[in-house]
Amino acid sequence: MKRIGLLSKADGGTLSKIIVNITLPAVVIVSLAKISVTGALFFLLVMGISFNVLTIIAGSVISKKRSNVERKYQMYSMSGYNIGNFGLPFVQGFFPLAIPFLLMFDIGNSVMLTGGSTLLIDKLVGENEETSVKKIALSLLKSTPFTVYMIMLLLRIGNVGVPSEVLSILQIVANANGFLSMFMIGLYFEIRLPKKALYLVGEVLVSRYLVGIGLALIFAFLVPLEPLLRTSLVLICVAPMPTFSVINCVKAGMDEETVGFTSSASILISLLLMTLVMLLMT
């Protein structure tokens, strides 16, 4: 649709607002409405924070000889997972029972993406921290999906349900999330890269996916987990770079073209790896 001129990259912004504020919250409500809050779900929340911290530290070690801007680019690009707009719609039609696991992981993931990662990265590169815990909390509360996450989590901890009539309506909205998310990714997708940045981008992507595949192998073969939880974690390990990381890279001083290419290449690589995981683990 973009190539024939019917839509433009700018239309992705409108789709993004619909997804973030309407269809994704509907998925969260429908998926969490009847779950029992178990230790496994809280384990996923902790993993959402832990994965980000681990990959940021790995990026810091790998990029220690580079400039601060390139170090930040490396750490932001290696950390964070695109769950709401990619991971969730990707598994929605194949593993619907895994959706609560991905959503709980995304709560911890969101804490890092909306400020936690910046706090840690600024500390690792030796710069003054511009993000406070208060700013992170305010940023999270401004996020519609995160606010819905928290409301549903509290409701389920209190064993409070959502009326079936409401769920029936929201299910129609939730069903649109997968298509709209993938369509938005298509509108944003670009493969243009300055030649001078080719080596840097290659190293960043190789580092991200080597760490991701390493974590995936650990959870697949070494950690005793129930099958659905294991599959969810392995899929998450190879999920693509999130939009928040793209924004943070540009704020750190990297040019948009390089960061945009990194994000698009990440989507392609993750699409292949996640498909492979689904074929091998089903």
Domain boundaries, the chain: 11-281
Q: Is the pLDDT of residue 130 over 60?
A: no
Residue 37 confidence (pLDDT): 79
Opening angle at CA 244, ends 107 and 178, nearest 5: 70
- The proportion of the chain whose per-residue pLDDT surpasses 70, expressed as a percent, equals 96
Confidence band, pLDDT 50/70/90 cuts, at residue 1: confident
pLDDT in tens, 178-224: 788 778 777 777 677 767 788 899 999 999 999 999 999 999 999 99
* 46-58 tens-digit pLDDT: 999 999 999 999 9
Q: What is the pLDDT of residue 237?
A: 96
List the CATH code of the domain at 11-281. 1.20.1530.20
Reduced 3-state DSSP string for the chain: CCCCCCCCCCHHHHHHHHHHHHHHHHHHHHHHCCCCCCHHHHHHHHHHHHHHHHHHHHHHHHCCCCCHHHHHHHHHHHCCCCHHHHHHHHHHCCCHHHHHHHHHHHHHHHHHHHHHHHHHHHHHHCCCCCCCHHHHHHHHHHCHHHHHHHHHHHHHHCCCCCCHHHHHHHHHHHHCHHHHHHHHHHHHCCCCCCHHHHHHHHHHHHHHHHHHHHHHHHHHHHCCCCHHHHHHHHHHHCCCCCHHHHHHHHHHCCCHHHHHHHHHHHHHHHHHHHHHHHHHHC
Q: Which two tokens stand for residue 252?
A: 């750190």
pLDDT value at residue 69: 93
* Percent of the chain predicted with pLDDT > 90: 39
Cβ partners under 8 Å of residue 103, min gap 6: 27, 28, 31, 32, 83, 88, 149
- What is the rounded average pLDDT of the residues 152-161? 88
pLDDT digits (tens, 9 = 90+) for 46-96: 999 999 999 999 999 999 989 999 999 999 999 999 997 788 888 877 788
Residue 43: φ, ψ to 5°: -60, -40
pLDDT of residue 131: 58
Per-residue confidence band for 261, with pLDDT thresholds at 50, 70 and 90: confident
Please give the average per-residue pLDDT across 215-238, as a whole number: 93
pLDDT band at residue 168, thresholds of 50, 70 and 90?
A: very high
